Amino acid sequence: MNRAQAMHRRRIVLKFGTGILTRKGAAGLLDGAQVRRLATEVAELMGAGHECILVTSGAVGAGLPVLGLGRRPTELDMIQACAAVGQPRLMSLYERSFAGHGLHVGQLLLTYRDIDSRTRYRNARTTIERLLSTRCVVP
């Protein structure tokens, strides 16, 4: 990368919500074509020299069909159960989608306490910086 390109390189944080990751009218069914399209766009940004961080939701929605639910539950234990089974499905789809571009995904599960604690915040930031430095991982 030459100096001019380095000056225009940006760190881009992208948020992909449940609404764009799932099929319309099909509770919890991840839209593989949509995720692959988004992965292609992120790969293009990275190919242009940008650093991309992906913030995603969708784990709860991805867990709905596994637990036989047609809509998002309201009880905390069921929401957490959906997320527990949906998160691996979501990450697997991301991994497959980015692999086609020679990229990998890295997962950090952060809570408010990770941001509120200075030490935990620094640890999370250092981890993200390390992943970004590889130029082949999308955190």
Predicted confidence pLDDT, tens digits, the chain (139 residues) = 555 555 567 999 999 998 899 887 666 689 999 999 999 999 999 999 999 999 999 999 899 999 999 889 999 999 999 999 999 999 999 999 999 999 999 999 888 898 899 999 999 999 999 999 999 999 9
CB 54 within 8 A of CB 139: yes
What is the residue type of 125? Answer: R
Q: At 30, phi and psi to the nearest 5?
A: -65, 140
Can you give the pLDDT at residue 33? 95
How far is 93 from 97, CA to CA, in rounded Å? 6
